Amino acid sequence: MKMETVSDKPVGVFDSGMGGLTVAHAIKQILPNEKIIYFGDTAHLPYGDKSKESIIHYSSEITRFLLQNNCKVVLMACNSASAVAFDEVNKELGQEVIILNVIDPVVKYLEKFYSHGKIGIIGTKATINSGTYGSRIKKVCPDLDVVSMAAPLFVPMIEEGFIFDDISNAIIRSYMSKPLLKDINALILGCTHYPIIKNQINKYFDFEVDIIDSAKIVALELKALLSEKKLLNQGVSVDYEFYVSDFTDNFEKIAQMFFEGSVNLHKSDLWR
């Protein structure tokens, strides 16, 4: 019987709900040999309106859970957690496992492809109020005009299944028509839920704005890191495990859509 090596271990991914599935799906496409353990903290979503202390606590406990499940790397597939909790969780647990966030890879992307122009950022209140995106972007791209706007209705709208309908289109128009976003060259979807409505946002701007979806960018960054650390899984025995802190019908539907077929969903309340 073959002994498990570090490279055989799974990649841990977590988010406040189903949004991080967009990142997990990108990992599946770009790193098809990697096992994935996904945790959606559906009992506490959205993180965007939670206190900094709560987000740090949830993120720390979920990271511990993924560590206990033998993950070789943990990806915070949540912009609110990445903006508010990454430094604290990395300081606390980073010596035990590699921890990644979804903001730094997007900043690297902008540094590579944008030096001038106007960039819009939309996200949850926690992400936008933290100022993390804006400060990190201005540090590497000082000539960019960066504007940020919270879009707090998007996450509950998506989690409740209001997608591709008149309700979602009306909410998207309401946010995207704000004067702050006028004449932007690119729009960062600063929440991993938002790629689910990327096409509708793209359509609002008549496909003339670069809609920056972090999922593929983050998956490519993960691939580069695993390759550098010689941690790429070379095997063919791929497995996906999904955990939630509370069952929701829409989570299972979206997971089945991204992972093509039946999904084995487990409930694990880490705070009981």
**Residue 29: beta bridge partners?**
none
Active site (annotated) includes residue 78? yes
Query: Which residue out of 21, 121, 191, 209 is catalytically annotated?
Result: 191
DSSP H or E run through 71: none
Q: CB–CB of 93/63 below 8 Å?
A: yes
Query: Which residue out of 24, 56, 73, 78 is catalytically annotated?
Result: 78
C-alpha angle with apex 31: 29 to 34, nearest 5 degrees? 120
User: E-assigned strands of the chain?
Assistant: 11-15, 36-40, 73-76, 98-100, 118-123, 145-150, 186-190, 210-212, 240-244, 265-267
Q: CB–CB of 144/210 below 8 Å?
A: no
Active site (annotated) includes residue 71? no
Residues taking part in catalysis: 78, 191
